[in-house]
């Protein structure tokens, strides 16, 4: 596919890479599950990674089980003309379809989990019960997750609710064309749904080799941002990199780094495909929580969520 040449307004220079790359479909979740399984084979948190692989397989199955509903013409027009994210997650009128996605994910995880995992069984039962008896309460959990305001009692349900919302919004995003997604005034949120990115990824694809893309936490849209620039305050002067690599290894050799900013004291991880072509911004993020702890100890606050993450859940 030909790549359009677009003007980067901040630097007034030509950038030959797509500005926005919309998600490709169910294959994305399947590949993520495969990545989880590969990581689990060589990890001391193998059980957790296998659980994640089951969630991602459930996402793949749910994705293929139903069609996206049409996105309103008005939302697309507002995006094209005014840069308003067409799927603005904080106000988007979610169809109950996402709750069917959630049921599929629960069923999929349950079918492959060991019957002795009583903790997991009780979480699945609790979500099913909420689906059946209190859909409004479940919508409120989803609203809080999207707003970044989850409450302690939401905790164990969060990875499942997050997984279902990812399926629902990714399916919608995949029906759009890049032309439907206008340039958002705020470069640090997803131009398609307005959520923060989970991480950024330096690509090796031929049409965007060596370009950095932010990966939406919710709809899996990717959008281009220059490298060595804070993904929160967009300053360049205070940007640094931290890794967990063994002593003597160079930061530049690491596939997983924390990009820190001394201007706003925040960080987000950056993954480098050239160092590991299979790296996945969502699951490799969850496989590198020790790096979050290190960076947190140094006083940097993380800016983007991972919707499959629940502290303490294993």
189 touching Zn ion, by CB under 5 A:
no
176 touching Zn ion, by CB under 5 A:
no
Residue 264 Cβ, how far from Zn ion at the closest point, in Å? 3
183 touching Zn ion, by CB under 5 A:
no
Residue 166 Cβ, how far from Zn ion at the closest point, in Å? 10
Alpha-carbon torsion angle 81, 84, 88, 90, nearest 10: -150
Quick note: the x/- pattern for Zn ion over 290-309, rule CB under 5 A, is --------------------
264 touching Zn ion, by CB under 5 A:
yes
Alpha-carbon torsion angle 213, 217, 274, 32, nearest 10: -140
Are 54 and 109 within 8 A, CB to CB?
yes
Please choose, out of 118-126, 187-195, 244-252, 279-287, the segment that lies near Zn ion by the rule CB under 5 A.
187-195
b/e 21-46 (16+ beta carbons within 10 angstroms → b) = bbbeebebbbbbbbbbbebbeeeeee
Q: How many residues bind Zn ion (CB under 5 A)?
A: 14
Please choose, out of 62-70, 183-191, 277-285, 305-313, the segment that lies near Zn ion by the rule CB under 5 A.
183-191
Judged by beta carbon, residue 239 or residue 244, the one nearer Zn ion is 239
Torsion over CA: 109, 113, 115, 120 (sign): negative
Of positions 192, 225, 272, 308, contacts Zn ion by CB under 5 A: 192
Of positions 263, 273, 275, 289, contacts Zn ion by CB under 5 A: 263
Separation CA 42–CA 135 (nearest Å)? 39
Residue 168 CA to its chain's centroid (Å): 13
219 touching Zn ion, by CB under 5 A:
yes
49 touching Zn ion, by CB under 5 A:
no
Quick note: the x/- pattern for Zn ion over 225-244, rule CB under 5 A, is -----x-xx-----------
Judged by beta carbon, residue 112 or residue 186, the one nearer Zn ion is 186
Q: Where are the beta strands (DSSP E) in the chain?
A: 6-8, 13-15, 20-21, 197-202, 212-216, 222-224, 239-242, 256-261, 266-272, 301-302
Residue 145 has φ and ψ, to the nearest 5°, of -65, -45
Structure tokens at 158: 């969060």
State whether residue 280 is helix, strand or coil.
coil
Residue 121 Cβ, how far from Zn ion at the closest point, in Å? 32
Separation CA 52–CA 39 (nearest Å)? 11
Judged by beta carbon, residue 29 or residue 51, the one nearer Zn ion is 29
Judged by beta carbon, residue 123 or residue 218, the one nearer Zn ion is 218
Please choose, out of 9-17, 64-72, 160-168, 223-231, the segment that lies near Zn ion by the rule CB under 5 A.
223-231
Judged by beta carbon, residue 97 or residue 221, the one nearer Zn ion is 221
Judged by beta carbon, residue 51 or residue 92, the one nearer Zn ion is 92
The vertex-73 CA angle with 71 and 77, nearest 5°, equals: 115
Judged by beta carbon, residue 158 or residue 217, the one nearer Zn ion is 217
Residue 240 has φ and ψ, to the nearest 5°, of -140, 175
Residue 156 Cβ, how far from Zn ion at the closest point, in Å? 25
Name the region of 51 (left: φ>0; alpha: ψ -120 to 50; beta: rest). alpha
261 touching Zn ion, by CB under 5 A:
yes
In the complex, the residues that contact Zn ion under the rule CB under 5 A are 190, 192-193, 195, 216, 218-219, 221, 230, 232-233, 261, 263-264
């Amino acid at each position: 596919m030909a790549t359009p040449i677009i003007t980067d307004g901040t630097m007034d220079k030509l950038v030959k890479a797509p500005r926005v790359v919309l998600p490709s479909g169910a294959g994305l979740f399947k590949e993520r599950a495969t990545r989880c399984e590969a990581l689990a084979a060589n990890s001391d948190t193998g059980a957790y990674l296998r659980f994640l692989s089951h969630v991602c397989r459930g996402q793949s199955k749910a994705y293929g089980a139903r069609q996206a509903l049409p996105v309103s013409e008005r939302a697309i027009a507002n995006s094209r003309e005014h840069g308003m994210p067409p799927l603005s997650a904080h106000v988007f009128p979610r169809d109950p379809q996402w709750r069917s996605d959630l049921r599929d994910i629960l069923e999929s995880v349950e079918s492959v989990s060991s019957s002795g995992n009583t903790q997991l069984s009780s979480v699945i039962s609790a979500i099913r019960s909420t689906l059946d008896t209190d859909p409004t309460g479940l919508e409120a959990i989803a609203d809080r997750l999207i707003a970044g305001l989850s409450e302690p009692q939401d905790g164990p349900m969060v990875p499942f609710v997050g997984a279902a919302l990812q399926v629902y919004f990714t399916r919608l995003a995949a029906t759009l064309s890049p032309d439907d997604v206008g340039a958002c005034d705020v470069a640090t949120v997803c131009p398609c749904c307005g959520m923060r990115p989970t991480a950024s990824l330096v690509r090796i694809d031929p049409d965007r080799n060596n370009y950095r893309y932010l990966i939406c936490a919710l709809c899996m849209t990717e959008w281009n941002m220059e490298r060595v620039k804070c993904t929160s305050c967009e300053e360049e002067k205070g940007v640094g990199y931290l890794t967990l690599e063994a002593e003597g290894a160079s930061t530049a050799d690491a596939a997983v780094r924390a990009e820190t900013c001394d201007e706003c004291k925040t960080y987000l991880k950056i993954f480098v495909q050239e160092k590991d072509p299979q790296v996945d911004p969502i699951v490799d993020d969850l496989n590198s929580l020790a790096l979050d702890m290190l960076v947190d100890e140094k006083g940097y606050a993380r800016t983007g969520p991972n919707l499959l993450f629940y502290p303490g859940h294993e």
